[in-house]
Chains A and B, each alone.
Chain A
Amino acid sequence: MLIVALVAASFLSLAVGSADISLESVWRAIVAYDAADPEHIAIIDKRLPRTVVGIAVGAALGLAGAVAQGLTRNPIADPGLLGISPGASLAVVVGIVAFGVTNPAGYLWFAFAGACIASALVWFIASRGREGATPVKLTLAGAAIGAAATSLVSGLLIARAEALDTMRFWQVGALAGRGFDVLGPIAPFLVAGVVAALFLGRPLNLLALGDDTAAGLGLNVGRTRLLVGAILVVLVGTATAVAGPISFLALVVPHAVRRFTGPDYRWILPYSAPAAAAILLFADVVARIVARPSELQVGIVVAVVGAPVFIALIRRGRAAGL
Chain B
Amino acid sequence: MSVTATCRRNLRRRTMTVGLCMTTLALALFVVALMLGQAGLTPTEVLEALTGRGDRITNFVVLQNRLPRALAAVLVGGCLGASGAVFQAVLRNPLASPDIIGVTSASGTAGVAGVLLLGISGLPLTLLVAVGGVVGAAIVAGLTWNRGLVGMRLVLVGIGVAAVATALTSYLITTVDSRDAAVAYTWLVGSLNGAGWPVVTVTAVVGILALVALALQARGLRALELGDATAAGLGFRVERTRVLVLLTAVVLAAVAVGAAGPVGFVALMAPQIARRLVGHASASPAAATAVGAALVIGADLIAQYAVSGVNLPVGVVTGALGAPYLAWLLARNDTNRPGGRS
What residues of chain A lie closer than 8 Å to B144, measured between beta carbons?
Answer: 315
| B173-231 CB contacts (< 8 Å) to partner A | 173-174, 178-179, 181-182, 185-186, 189
Q: Indicate which residue in A128, A151, A157, A314 contacts B319 across the interface (CB closer than 8 Å).
A: A151
Is the CB–CB distance between B166 and A74 below 8 Å?
no
Contact of A155 among B100, B164, B312, B322 (CB under 8 A): B312
Question: What 7 pairs across the A-B complex have the smallest Cβ distances?
Answer: A151-B319, A303-B167, A148-B323, A128-B331, A319-B153, A147-B323, A147-B319
- Known A-B contacts A140-B272, A168-B170; the reply to A76 vs B93 at CB < 8 A is yes
* Chain A residues with CB below 8 A from B318, complex form: 151
Cross-interface CB contact of B164 among A136, A164, A172, A304, cutoff 8 Å: A304
Q: Shortest CB–CB separation between residue B162 and chain A, in angstroms?
A: 9
Name the prevailing secondary structure of the B interface residues.
Answer: helix
Among candidates B95, B152, B163, B264, residue contacting A319 with C-beta atoms closer than 8 Å: B152
B336 touches A299 (CB 8 A): no
User: Do A144 and B185 touch across chains, with their CB atoms under 8 A apart?
Assistant: no
Interface residues of B (CB under 8 A from A): 93-96, 100, 143-144, 146, 150-153, 155-157, 159-161, 163-164, 166-168, 170-171, 173-174, 178-179, 181-182, 185-186, 189, 264-265, 268-269, 272, 310, 312-313, 315-320, 322-324, 326-327, 330-336, 338-340, 342
- Residues on B with beta carbons closer than 8 Å to the beta carbon of A128: 330-332
Please, which residues of chain B bring their CB within 8 A of the CB of A248?
163
**Assembly CA distance A296 to B174 (angstroms):** 9
Q: What distance in Å separates the Cβ of B227 from its nearest Cβ neighbour in chain A?
A: 15
Q: How many positions in chain A have a CB within 8 Å of any CB in the partner chain?
A: 64
The answer to whether B95 and A315 have CB atoms under 8 Å apart is no
Once the chains bind, are B181 and A77 in contact (CB under 8 Å)? Answer: no
A128-B331, A151-B318, A315-B153 known, 5 other contacts, Cβ within 8 Å: A125-B330, A158-B189, A169-B174, A314-B153, A319-B156
Identify whether the interface residues of A are mostly helix, strand, loop, or mixed: helix
Compute how far the CA of A303 lies from the CA of B316 in the bound complex, rounded to whole angstroms.
25
Query: In whole Å, how far is B172's beta carbon from the nearest beta carbon of chain A?
Result: 10
A84 to chain B, nearest CB (A): 15
| Distance in angstroms between the alpha carbons of A315 and B222 in the assembled complex | 28
Pairs across A and B, CB under 8 Å, 26 listed: A74-B95, A76-B93, A77-B95, A125-B331, A130-B334, A135-B342, A137-B330, A140-B326, A141-B327, A143-B268, A147-B264, A148-B323, A151-B320, A152-B320, A155-B312, A251-B159, A255-B156, A296-B171, A302-B167, A306-B163, A310-B156, A311-B156, A314-B156, A314-B157, A315-B143, A319-B153
Contact of B159 among A76, A129, A169 (CB under 8 A): A76
A126 touches B (CB below 8 Å): yes
What's the nearest-Cβ distance from chain A to residue B145, in Å? 9
- CA gap between A141 and B315 in the complex, in Å: 19
Say yes or no for A81: interface residue by CB 8 A criterion.
yes
- A24, CB-defined interface residue at 8 Å: no
A300 part of interface (Cβ distance < 8 Å): yes
